[in-house]
């Protein structure tokens, strides 16, 4: 039951996060703030449900995978705190009581931390999906059907290439480094599809990198 709740919360966080990233000026700032609060609340619940992970940090040995988990998760935690702080600094619709004055820096910090948060969220998913990729390719190889292996490899690299294309198209890298970018008013469904493919491609890239790192041992 607890595992199902964790999965449900993770799915909700992912879709809310992408919805928040689709925000454009003049389009429901109050709702954006409310969903931002919901996302941060789910983030806290996510950590509470996984609190045992923190108590086990000083136990056992650290292999490559465990080191990756610790580094990525702590960076993501720090980034989410930055997202929350910058949102309070620049929001007057939801946090009218805030003593902070909205500045361009606060906005740039919020956009940048959100972009980095998306990247590290995808890397966090990559850690969890790494074993799924291994299991899938093992099942396909066990069928001894070459056309399935070729199809898998073809689709794998097609989605990887699409992810790179959509990443460049979205100019997400500009947001990461606080560089002004063009505003695209794409359909929300298209936005979800493109960012889902970017997420998948980051998971794929992590899988390839993990295999390379483990092969070097």
pLDDT value at residue 68: 93
Distance from chain centroid for Cα 127: 11
Element (H, E) at 40: helix 29-49
Q: Classify 158 as helix, strand or coil.
A: helix
- What is d(CA 61, CA 57) in angstroms, rounded to the nearest whole number? 10
- What is d(CA 209, CA 104) in angstroms, rounded to the nearest whole number? 37
pLDDT value at residue 92: 55
Q: Tell me the pLDDT tens digit for each residue of 140-192.
A: 999 999 999 999 999 999 999 999 999 999 999 999 999 988 877 678 899 99
Query: Which value, to the nearest 10 degrees, does the dihedral of the CA atoms of residues 20, 22, 24, 28 take?
Result: -50
- What is d(CA 33, CA 116) in angstroms, rounded to the nearest whole number? 19
Number of residues written out for the chain: 217
pLDDT value at residue 47: 92
- What is d(CA 120, CA 77) in angstroms, rounded to the nearest whole number? 10
């Amino acid at each position: 039951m607890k595992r199902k709740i964790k999965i449900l919360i993770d799915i909700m966080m992912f879709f809310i996060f992408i919805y928040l990233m689709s925000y454009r000026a003049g389009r429901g700032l109050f709702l954006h703030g409310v969903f931002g609060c919901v996302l941060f609340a789910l983030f806290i619940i996510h950590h509470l449900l996984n609190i045992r992970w923190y108590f086990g940090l000083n136990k056992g040995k650290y292999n490559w995978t465990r080191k990756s988990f610790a580094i990525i998760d702590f960076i993501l935690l720090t980034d989410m705190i930055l997202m929350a702080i910058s949102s309070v600094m620049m929001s007057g619709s939801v946090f009218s009581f805030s003593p902070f004055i909205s500045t361009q820096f606060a906005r740039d910090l919020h956009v940048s931390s959100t972009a980095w948060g998306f990247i590290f969220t995808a890397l966090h998913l990559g850690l969890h999906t790494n074993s799924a990729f291994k299991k899938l390719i093992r099942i396909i190889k066990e069928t001894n059907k070459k056309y399935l292996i070729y199809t898998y490899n073809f689709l794998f690299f097609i989605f990887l290439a699409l992810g790179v294309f959509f990443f460049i198209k979205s100019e997400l890298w500009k947001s990461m480094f606080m560089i002004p970018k063009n505003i695209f008013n794409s359909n929300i469904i298209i936005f979800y599809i493109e960012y889902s493919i970017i997420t998948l491609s980051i998971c794929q890239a992590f899988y390839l990198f993990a295999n390379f790192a483990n092969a070097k041992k």
